[in-house]
Amino acid sequence: ETNLKFRQALLVTHQELQSEESMAAFDGRVRCEEPNSRLGTFTGTLRWRGRTHALDGDRILLRGCRVRNTALCHGLVLYAGFDSKIMRNSGKIKRKKTKLDQLMDRLVIVIFLLLLATSLALAVASGFWARTFQEKHSYLAALYQHTSPAHQAFLNFWGFTILLSIIIPMSMYITFEFIYLVNSCFINWDLEMYYGAKDIPAEARSTSLSDQLGQIQYIFSDKTGTLTQNIMSFKKCCVNGTIYGSGTGHENKQPQGSGLSWEHPGEQKSGVCDVTLLEAAQRDSDPVLREFLRLLALCHTVMAEDRGDQLVYQAASPDEEALVLAARSLGYVFLARTQDSITIRELGKTRTYELLAMLDFNSDRKRMSVLVRDPQGTIRLYTKGADTVILDRLRSRGPQESLTERALDRFAEETLRTLCVASREVSEAEFRAWGRRHREAAALLGERARELDGLYEEMEQNLQLLGATAIEDKLQDGVPETIQLLKLGNIKVWVLTGDKQETAMNIGYACRLLTDDMEILEEKEVSSCPIPSSSHSEILQAYWESNNNLSGHGDTPCSLSQQHPETPCHKRAIIISGDFLVRILHTGEVLKERKGWPWQWLCCGRAEASQDQGALVEKAFVDLATSCQAVICCRVTPKQKALMVQLVKKHKKAVTLAIGDGANDVNMIKTADIGVGISGLEGLQAVQCSDYALAQFSFLQRLLLVHGRWNYLRICKFLRCFFYKTFAGLLAQVWFAFHSGFTAQPLYEGWFLALYNIFYTAYPVLSVGLFEQDVSAKKSLEFPELYVVGQQDELFNYRVFGVTLLHGVGTSLISFYITLWAFEDHVGTKVVGDYESFSVTVALSALLSVLVEIVLDTQYWTVLSFLMVTASLLLFCLFSFLTQTVDAYRIAPAIFRFPDASWNALTDPYVLLVVLLSLVVNTLPSLTVHAIRATLGRASTQQRIQLRARRAPEPPVELRSHVPRGSLRR
């Protein structure tokens, strides 16, 4: 993490251990949890001088962190070596595998089984051939005196297995990794994805997932910092029912003649959202406004750093910094904090508040509070959080609260981030009783978190609403255009955010995820009955009924058996909340808790029935959501974000991508098939857990539509070419067995077999995997429909593998039997007709056929592509003549067994004509197929480009206020 975190020693040790002598005499005893990998939590206690002090994550320094604003500190080592948390997090990580990786693993097994089956069949044939040979040639019985047909078949089985083992694509995996590495470098080097404003390039943190970037079907995106800039500015507020911040252009101005100057020269600037608000703060006549601003200056975890003439704030989140800066611009300046105090300047007067307790924020509580004692001795609780949790904890509801709720709706419609703030006075007796139980709960080891949550809940009741804040977080540049392109590429974008529904919905309109012609389904329209009790079809049935009613049709709603939920009649979007997800998935969560013994043993039948029911409800919900063009989930927790990704992967078997910028997106990023981290203002945790790191959401269009599609195309073509050249060149060994008595006699020279996959055919195939393109980057972005090819697995699947296998078999048959036909009964004084020449001719025919096929299949040529094809031919000639010289044969006749074979064969015009004939016959089918496709207009790329060209452009969407959330028109 790059942002500053607040860490403090225990107050008692900070005050007592001030010298080396006192530290040497320290005899405290620490009890803490066992070593674990949880970086964000720690539970322990210090027992010293008869008292127990609570230890939590704010009291420890983790290995690897950097200390700032501290000259010197002393500590007690709790975990060391492999027990430290950072080492516990460096264990085994589950490797993500692409769809092509998984397919390849299965195909390798298929090829291995084919190898065994072929070897077994040839071995059995060799046994029968040996018996027949013995019967026909009894005068050669001495040759088989110490063997039998069965023994001969057994030996030949292993001989054929070794001879044909070269078709197992082991070298392919090495080439695979190299292609992945280079394609990842292409992503890193792409200047179109370089963010010059912050000097941040794109980074491929994983090198083995690049092809899956071309197969994404669902994108799960965070909102804050991902779609938006995460640069917060305080725009509006509602205090005691009055809205401040008109947005009329008067922001950031001081009132004339006010003489107010709360900020020192050089400090962080934060404009005033409304002159009227500044004047009201200056008058100091409204006690509610005074408490509102005091809360903004006190209720936070911001740290202040005094740099001489400059006061700089370090905040864990941009929201907190924006609120503290707003309070400072209005005269309530946060100055400093210690372990037990917070100092602020209120309208020029410095006041120090005693910090009694801090009730921390987390994603489940959705609020934070501070308990302070003011200089007059009054104890007050200040709370800020989401409107849904604050409004439920108010002492009473009156006209001011209703006005604030309407203001919240108005702020949300303007895409502003909202918070409610409230406070209450706490009596001394209540605090003493609560504080005693708080200290006892903080000293627990096992149930500390649960007990503290209960105490926090008890204290945060009977609140008085002070008002609401509205913070602006603008969209990043290019977000609407990016989402539009992704939608045209048949990629569905789901937004998962912690903001309230209206804010998320209006951001959806602003970024063109939602459009005016879309039918918006809200959770209350999806199902009116409690979800856990719903049957499998009730959710979808309610969906279809809602569809017909909202569309204005009076007909009877269509049954589920008549319509398929994944074939929508028109554009739809669904907007749901985290509470709805809790209800919809409640059954599944309960079942997870009850899976273990003795529940299954005691209630096996009922548990299985409930589990099936829960799975059906989950599937019905996923069917409904995936039938929509857009999904927005608001007020969701990090766990729910990951759960949404997991549900789509589980029920749709779809390739998913998650993108986010904060620590709350880590679970989602890890769960998705591809995780993308945005280098934003919330630290580097999301980036460090991601597979790809970008600086802007808009770079996602180039990452997927250009690099992703190219990489998928390259890998698929590489696989096709690799399997083809392997089968085409090496299956001739099988056909040779039928003419050599099934004796496992190799057709080719050993050096040809050794170098075929390394030098002779590796480079052209490698060039396809590195440089191949069907269209340019500009065309890829201009016609995003081309992306559908990867989503549908069109370029490589079982069918394509089968066709490639048959193509390779055909090439090997033609190369072998044309040569065999040409060499039969071919005798003469200067005629080449020996076994070595036959072997060289078949090898050259197969090699040239493979190279020409790769050349015909290559659409994008570079200088390196040309050099690689040329190098293959030159290396074949070079090694053929080097390994077949007479001198080499004299030195090692057992190794170099083909003396002058290539020279004798390739200088014979007859052999060259045979090679040419084989090449023409092998190439003719491919040329015919290419010609037919071109004639019939079936070239897939051209067809998809023409499809987009005929499409009328959609009108732009303007950001404006939409229908209120209570309306059924949405």
Binding residues for Mg(2+), as ranges, are 222, 224, 661, 665
Among 105, 190, 222, 900, which one carries the catalytic annotation?
222
Rg (CA), the chain: 37
Give the closest residue to 544 by CA, choosing from 516, 568, 524: 568
Rounded to 10 degrees, what is the CA torsion of 502, 507, 510, 513? -100
Please count the residues of the chain. Answer: 970
Q: How far is CA 970 from CA 119, 183, 503, 505, 522, in A?
A: 66, 44, 15, 11, 8
For residues 732 and 847, what is the distance between their CA atoms, to the nearest angstrom? 12
Question: Which secondary structure element, helix H or strand E, spans residue 472, and what is its range?
Answer: strand 464-472
Which residues are known binding-site members for ATP? 222-224, 320, 361, 384, 417, 497-499, 635, 641, 664-665
Q: Helices 709-730 and 762-771: crossing angle, nearest 10°?
A: 170
Exposure on the CB side of residue 214, measured as CA atoms within 13 A: 26
According to the 3-state scheme, what is the secondary structure of 613-676?
HHHHHHHHHHHHHHCCCEEEEECCCHHHHHHHHHHHHHHHCCCEEEEECCHHHHHHHHHCCEEE
Decide: residue 923, CB within 10 A, 0-12 exposed, 13-18 middle, 19+ buried: middle
Distance of CA 508 to the CA centre of its chain: 21
Parallel, antiparallel or unpaired: strands 492-496 and 218-221: parallel
Please identify which residue in the block is written with the tokens 């090819």. 789
Sheet holding 367-373, edge to edge: 242-244, 233-239, 464-472, 416-426, 379-385, 367-373, 349-359, 341-346, 332-337
Distance of CA 475 to the CA centre of its chain: 21
Amino acid at 330: L
Q: Catalytic residue at 222? A: yes
- Three-state SS at 343: strand
DSSP summary character for residue 237: E
φ and ψ of 275, to 5 deg:
-65, -35
Please give the sequence-ordered ranges of beta strands (E in DSSP) within 774-927, or none if there are none: none
Angle at 538 between CA 532 and CA 540, to 5 degrees: 115
Cβ contact 526:574 at 8 Å:
yes
| Per-position b or e across 835-873, b if 16+ CB within 10 A of its CB | ebbbbbbbbbbbbbbbbbbbeebbebeeeebeebbebbe
For the record, the structure tokens of 554 come out as: 């009076």
According to the 3-state scheme, what is the secondary structure of 582-608?
HHHCHHHHHHHHCCCCCHHHHCHHHHH
Distance of CA 919 to the CA centre of its chain: 46
Give the sign of the dihedral formed by CA 270, CA 275, CA 278, CA 282. positive
Please identify which residue in the block is written with the tokens 């309230």. 500
DSSP summary character for residue 143: G
Residues 6+ apart with CB under 8 A from 152: 126, 127, 130, 144
For residues 436 and 441, what is the distance between their CA atoms, to the nearest angstrom? 9
For the record, the structure tokens of 829 come out as: 């004084």
Which residues are known binding-site members? 222-224, 320, 361, 384, 417, 497-499, 635, 641, 661, 664-665
For the record, the structure tokens of 325 come out as: 């800066």
Question: Which secondary structure element, helix H or strand E, spans residue 370, and what is its range?
Answer: strand 367-373
Decide: residue 552, CB within 10 A, 0-12 exposed, 13-18 middle, 19+ buried: exposed
For residues 519 and 970, what is the distance between their CA atoms, to the nearest angstrom? 6
Please give the positions annotated as active site: 222
